[in-house]
Structure 1
């Protein structure tokens, strides 16, 4: 299967190596960064330097069967439009709610598949939550918590850059979807602060945008309360609230991004925490089920792999692979919750989550 992969950044490089290494995909990677492409080309992966990103990609798309978009979230809509015009199946990692809604409209009546939000959150977290929810007769509460965290935090924010700064600020600044008392609502980002501990480590969690994917729409009318929160180390939320609201950098995001890029080092030594709880009635009893995993950074051949690379690339590669195997719709729009969790974890790419360490203690 011929795959056009847009983006050779932190996540894109991992996606390229996974798909190419499987032997079942002919991958061509598009990016403006010639240096990043040269590294992949040295491994036998086809590359295309996209000088004028949109036009040069558009010209090279004929003959490609699948587009995998690993570009920043604000390019999701133009990339999806190119895929539609070229007759390519489309997969991306966006967490942006507005972009996903427009892509869903775009997919109506399409002869190819459009499946955005194929990463960690949104993505895998929605697959897990929907799977657990299916076993209940009635649903009371679904809580989804995800954190991509430095394993060794040393600064006041207790955070290092592990993924896109653009995506990070986007989820901190936009309204968040939720269901409360059976009604779909919007809640403010950075609100809803809570604390919990896992394996003796203290965490906080608060509202951020995009992590629910399409679950609000899927579970509305079935669940009383549903929400998604990002996990950080205690104190992070208060400092981000100070920067965004009291210093008014929410209205000057370019400055905030520049500050974070200059002052906050990136790290490859990270950990991803996935924590889902579902409660409701099952066979006449009020029960709760929990799914909890920790995924750590590792080394593969000559490349250090961060936990966010492992989990995000595994999500989108598994989606493409399940589509190839006929386990997903072949046209129109596909939501993450249409993926069966057993199929995902049994997949050669999705098994990265199955190999993760199950969390022992939560309080």
Structure 2
């Protein structure tokens, strides 16, 4: 049984811990800096816990010593510290970060490492990159790769058209930081909350706009091979304008702690959410200009004894599948591992990746999830 440490006792960290522990193949310990967070943790009885200041590299490295892997579900600001501890302890490392600077630091740590470092293993970046890469391989030449993902409330009733479904810090960060892209064949940084477009999925109209971090390493992978590559977040119409008011007009992008407090005080969380995935690839096949589209909607369901939201399930499934595939020898065992290194068929065939294949995860008789 492989010993795994999950950093972060929040909504996603608890889902990861349950998913792994319920298989019976992983011995899971959840670590958090706060005793209150650990005390409030809702997971199966098999999961162990520990309270440690994860910013203390030596203390965390000591805990990681002898473990198989560490999975970070902590805020993006802690990514580098956790990756450094993983490097010191010589364990495999996986995370969910969308932060571009943090990922670059993880990549530097991975250089020459005897262990695997695989960041950005969630939904976007994560699964969305696996899908886009698989689709793009079928084209002779590539014109455009467009990735769109939304984690949305099913029943919005406020001016933002939004409920808190995942990390507030992450949501603010992606709307503030520059966005990587390929524009007219050249690498570029484009501003967040811009280039608003309308898309329709199954008769529902959404807007999509630039946000940071969703492309993972695709700009590097497809540099010189595609004319246009971009990632945009899906929201209900009007959300981008409201976020511009908060972040730009009221200058709350410079007071992110205050904005986080406002959002978490005024905007309720919800478990009644839906994940909308929309990927298009345009290019030439046999001399013809072709566009192919991949869409998927995923809803929440039960993991163990608890109902988990769609964003909890999809995010946790991504990093659990990455760990599982690495443990099975499907993925590289050392150095920097990209999401593009995962074959879509292998991911969807994995017991955790089945969440994305419209099937419940095959984790045992006590586990069900609606997709």
Give the superposition deviation at 1:57: 2.5
Q: Measure, in 2, the Cα distance between the counterparts of 1:356 and 1:274.
A: 16
Q: Given the alignment, which residue of 112, 117, 121 partners 1:118? A: 121
1:9 maps to: 10
CA contact (8 A) 1:31 1:53 kept: no
Q: Given the alignment, which residue of 57, 62, 74 partners 2:65? A: 62
Q: Measure, in 1, the Cα distance between the counterparts of 2:195 and 2:94.
A: 31
Q: Measure, in 1, the Cα distance between the counterparts of 2:237 and 2:47.
A: 42
CA contact (8 A) 2:55 2:78 kept: no
Cα displacement string for residues 262-318 of structure 1 (whole angstroms, at most 9, x for unaligned residues):
100000100000100001011222111111000011234431110000100000000
2:258 maps to: 255
2:242 maps to: 239
Cα displacement string for residues 26-56 of structure 1 (whole angstroms, at most 9, x for unaligned residues):
1111113435434457612111122575354
1:200 maps to: 203
For residue 274 of structure 1, give the secondary structure of its aligned residue in structure 2. Answer: strand
Determine whether 1:350 maps to 2:325. Answer: no
Cα displacement string for residues 129-183 of structure 1 (whole angstroms, at most 9, x for unaligned residues):
0000011010011000000000000001000000011000010000001111110
For residue 155 of structure 1, give the secondary structure of its aligned residue in structure 2. Answer: coil
What is the TM-score when the length of structure 1 is the normalising length? 0.95
CA contact (8 A) 1:40 1:47 kept: no
For residue 22 of structure 2, give the secondary structure of its aligned residue in structure 1. Answer: helix
Q: Given the alignment, which residue of 276, 294, 298 partners 2:297? A: 294
Q: Given the alignment, which residue of 286, 292, 307 partners 1:283? A: 286
Determine whether 1:78 maps to 2:84. Answer: no
CA contact (8 A) 1:142 1:277 kept: yes
Q: How many residues align?
A: 357
Q: Given the alignment, which residue of 160, 165, 190 partners 2:168? A: 165
1:209 maps to: 212
Q: Measure, in 2, the Cα distance between the counterparts of 1:106 and 1:61.
A: 17
1:229 maps to: 232
Unaligned ranges ≥5, structure 2: 361-371
Which residues in structure 2 correspond to 1:182-201 (within 5 Å)? 182-201=185-204
Summarize the Cα distance change of 1:341–1:109 in structure 2 as closer, same or farther, 3 Å threshold: same
Q: Measure, in 2, the Cα distance between the counterparts of 1:85 and 1:117.
A: 21
Unaligned ranges ≥5, structure 1: 358-363
CA contact (8 A) 1:295 1:356 kept: no
Summarize the Cα distance change of 1:41–1:338 in structure 2 as closer, same or farther, 3 Å threshold: closer
1:360 maps to: none
Which residues in structure 2 correspond to 1:112-151 (within 5 Å)? 112-151=115-154
CA contact (8 A) 1:271 1:294 kept: yes
2:367 maps to: none
CA contact (8 A) 1:211 1:228 kept: yes
Select between 40-49 and 93-102 the one with higher mean Cα deviation.
Answer: 40-49
Q: Given the alignment, which residue of 35, 42, 45 partners 1:43? A: 45
Give the superposition deviation at 1:223: 0.4
Q: Could you say what the CA RMSD is over the residues aligned between the two structures, in angstroms?
A: 1.5
CA contact (8 A) 1:41 1:47 kept: no
CA contact (8 A) 1:124 1:315 kept: yes
CA contact (8 A) 1:58 1:82 kept: yes
Q: Given the alignment, which residue of 144, 153, 178 partners 1:175? A: 178
Determine whether 1:24 maps to 2:33. Answer: no
For residue 125 of structure 2, give the secondary structure of its aligned residue in structure 1. Answer: coil
Which residues in structure 2 correspond to 1:301-316 (within 5 Å)? 301-316=304-319
CA contact (8 A) 2:19 2:303 kept: no
CA contact (8 A) 1:315 1:350 kept: yes
For residue 173 of structure 1, give the secondary structure of its aligned residue in structure 2. Answer: coil
